[in-house]
Structure 1
Amino acid sequence: MTDLPSLRESLEAHGLMAKKSFGQHFLLDLNITRKIVRLGGPFDGDVVIEVGPGPGGLTRALLETEARKVIAVEMDSRFIDLLGELNGVYGDRFEVIEGDATKIDEARSLADRNLTEAAHIVSNLPYNVGTPLLIKWLTGPWLPLSMTLMFQLEVALRVVAPVGDNDYGRLSVISQVLCDCQKIMDLPARAFTPPPKVDSAVVHLKPKAERPEPRVIRNLEKVTAAAFGQRRKMLRASLKSLGGEALLEKAGITPSERAEQVSPQDFLRLAHLI
């Protein structure tokens, strides 16, 4: 690390600052990024994909581990040259892909580089695409080994919320059916440059050993959208188009319950029955 300028120096040298339109808020304290990586790991011998590296705070911390390779996906072309400077220290253990992470085929990208299809995801997610990216990785055909993701606090709380909690919703159900989810770190707004208007938190998601088949995952998306789209209605009404009372009785769920009273496993049972 002594061969590299500080993150602030790198930003100044390249005349860069965060872009509001990209939802960028940078972590420039390497003590924080190292802690995030330590809590999300270990990554020994594995490939790590980082989304939205910006100036490379998390990237540097990841490259200090025993990860086999770190691939950074960055859509802001302004940062490509800055990030490329890491190759001078870390060689081909590091690579930048310029592109939109919501559109990238991770399995193809790994195969094109003769890498194992398995990889971890680590990201200080841009606020404006955090939830869509999480849903993509949870429900898509390519499944990460693990995900260590920074969200604005309200989204992080929704991911880990238990049934009956005020934050419990569709994102809670889908995340918890498919992964073991844990909030591993809180970060105040002042930790970022520029500071966002809200606090943030890091969530670690580890996919469960037994994964439902794609049909069931699609049904889970469908049934949670219907139930939480009308969350104040009883399930017999909100799920009427999917089978209503008959479906609920088959699943052993009281038709008068509302969405926030139904556990992730009960939603999974409904998804199997649709």
Structure 2
Amino acid sequence: MITLRCSLRLCNGRRIQNVTKCYQSTKAKRAEHAERMSRYGMEFPEKLLTKKLKSAANMYIADAGIAQQINNYLEPHLKESKCDTVLELNPGPGHLTRHLLDRESQFRKLILIESTEHFMPRLQEMHSLYPDRVKVHHGDLVGLHKLAFMDKIDNGMRVADLLCDVPQKAFNEDINMLVLGAVGSYPFFKHLINSLIFQSSLYNLGRCEMMLAMPPPIYIHLTCSNDIGYLIYRSTSVLFQILFEHRFIAKVPRELFLPQQSNFNLSKSSKLLKIKSINPEYLYLVKFKPRRNLHELCPIQDLPALWFFIKQNFVSRRNRIIPNLEKWIPGCGPRLIINQNASEPVTPIYANESVEHLPQYSMQSSTMSTRNYFPGINIYTQFGDLTPSQMLTLFTQFRRWPEYGESSFLASLENTLLKLESVTDEQVLDESVNLAEEDDISSENVDELLEANEEAAPKPAKSRKKTKQTV
């Protein structure tokens, strides 16, 4: 009886503690919500104040203070630009927009694309005040890949209508516009890559430059070196660095953007622990634009072949260069082993950029070369050993071999492009043409980068199944 009474008292004590903790937690949440409502309630809809997301595709600058800070960070970069057109993603209540309007002598056109209906009346007022200078559109530019997919299905004009005010320039001319905003969508960046490769969507209008705030894991994935390991250094990393110049500008507090971010609960067993634990309380303010000499490095007609070459060879983290290439062109191995061409080194694009200032694991943006040979290739050398510039050099070599025109590579490429004609959605692109990478950081499992509860990325087969259900 004594033991039973002690057990009952212990259970009751624990219940009281749990109820107390629950009450205190609820009270704290209510106080936090009340504070947010008093601070932002006049400007933002309640759904942006109540929700906490681990990964938000569209993010908003929460107040005038952080807008001023971002404007200060961007000041030297905006000054050096000769572009007179700015596109702002999700301007919301217009905190950053006011600073752009103040630059009347520089920016003659402001294109505001807003995805939330709540903000449209205020933005329309700006258009009424500056009818010739400010153009307002209701749409989701971050979800541009979805609009492109729907246009493909019904031959619509959604993308063209959303971008109707964007000036058009030739690719080798100066940039046609600046794009500012905050983006947490990984598929958005994959769409930019595919837009460059296939000359469609946004980059069919010109070589626009973007200055965006983004989550650290996405930026590190796009700009990392192969030293980080194959789980992060993937085909998307290689393609992004070949196609774009990029530069890190500054860190900005994530808590000053809406919707707010959920608390991270880092798991020690997570394969991506070292990435997810880097600055989760910040967003990275960065800028990037397509390389002006891209079509000199790789002719426009060969860009799909470059894309397929990199995607196919990075399907597995441990693919070896010579055995893989000999499947397409038998006997090509000795040419790579006995290569006696002098290697052309690459150099940083921004000479005044401090390496110590860069985020952990990310690389300086460098020039690209088609003669940057990997030293000492042998039968054990893996594709993951190559830098993006060395990968471009390897493709250039492969493209120039006399057997290329009759190789099975072109048949595989043609078959893939035929499949893309019926797919074209970046969310299902890799899976539907059997190019899903081993532990790929794809649109289906990007939350493994931004969330901390998953232990490993989904396997390709499972990812393909989910994608088909989505489509």
| TM-score interval for Structure 1 and Structure 2 normalised by the shorter chain | 0.7 to 0.9
The structure 2 residue matched to 1:191, chosen from 256, 259, 263, is 256
Amino acid at match of 2:116: D
Aligned equivalents of 2:330, 2:69: Cα separation in 1 = 48
The structure 2 residue matched to 1:161, chosen from 217, 224, 228, is 224
Amino acid at match of 1:267: M
Partner-residue secondary structure (3-state), 1:49: strand
Partner of 1:4: none
Aligned equivalents of 2:44, 2:214: Cα separation in 1 = 27
**Match runs of 1:100-111 below 5 Å:** 100-101=140-141, 102=144, 103=147
1:218-259 per-residue CA deviation (whole Å, 9 max, x = no partner) reads 122212222332113323456666558737838965242223
Amino acid at match of 2:180: V
Amino acid at match of 2:42: E
Note if 1:51 corresponds to 2:89: yes
TM-superposed CA distance for 1:136, in Å, is: 4.3
Partner of 1:170: 235
Please identify, of 150-159 and 138-147, the stretch whose mean Cα deviation from structure 2 is larger: 138-147
1:173-212 per-residue CA deviation (whole Å, 9 max, x = no partner) reads 2222122211111223223233324432122113323123
Aligned equivalents of 1:40, 1:79: Cα separation in 2 = 28
Aligned equivalents of 2:120, 2:138: Cα separation in 1 = 7
In structure 2, the gaps of 5 or more residues are 1-37, 149-156, 170-175, 263-279, 340-370, 400-471
Partner of 2:70: 33
TM-superposed CA distance for 1:87, in Å, is: 2.4
Partner of 2:284: 201
Partner-residue secondary structure (3-state), 2:307: helix
Partner of 1:135: 193
- Count of residues in correspondence between the two structures: 267
CA root-mean-square deviation = 3.6
TM-superposed CA distance for 1:114, in Å, is: 8.5
> Larger % of strand: which?
1
Partner-residue secondary structure (3-state), 2:120: helix
- The question of whether the paired residues in 2 share the 8 Å contact of 1:160 and 1:182 is answered with no
TM-superposed CA distance for 1:262, in Å, is: 0.8
- The question of whether the paired residues in 2 share the 8 Å contact of 1:14 and 1:82 is answered with no
1:93-116 per-residue CA deviation (whole Å, 9 max, x = no partner) reads 211222342137899569954944
TM-superposed CA distance for 1:39, in Å, is: 5.0
Please identify, of 171-180 and 230-239, the stretch whose mean Cα deviation from structure 2 is larger: 230-239
TM-superposed CA distance for 1:89, in Å, is: 4.5
Structure 2 CA distance for partners of 1:15 and 1:109, relative to 1, 3 Å: closer
The structure 2 residue matched to 1:24, chosen from 37, 44, 58, is 58
Note if 1:265 corresponds to 2:302: no
Give TM-score, length-normalised by structure 2. 0.48
Note if 1:233 corresponds to 2:319: yes
Amino acid at match of 1:38: E
1:14-44 per-residue CA deviation (whole Å, 9 max, x = no partner) reads 6454376963332222223313532542345
Please identify, of 191-200 and 99-108, the stretch whose mean Cα deviation from structure 2 is larger: 99-108
Aligned equivalents of 1:188, 1:129: Cα separation in 2 = 23
Partner-residue secondary structure (3-state), 1:85: helix
Partner-residue secondary structure (3-state), 1:71: strand
- The question of whether the paired residues in 2 share the 8 Å contact of 1:147 and 1:205 is answered with yes
Q: Please identify the structure whose Cα radius of gyration is greater.
A: 2
Partner-residue secondary structure (3-state), 2:391: helix
Aligned equivalents of 1:111, 1:14: Cα separation in 2 = 26
- The question of whether the paired residues in 2 share the 8 Å contact of 1:45 and 1:68 is answered with no
Partner-residue secondary structure (3-state), 2:332: helix
Aligned equivalents of 2:213, 2:330: Cα separation in 1 = 37
In structure 1, the gaps of 5 or more residues are 1-7
TM-superposed CA distance for 1:148, in Å, is: 1.4
Partner of 2:245: 180
The structure 2 residue matched to 1:121, chosen from 179, 185, 206, is 179
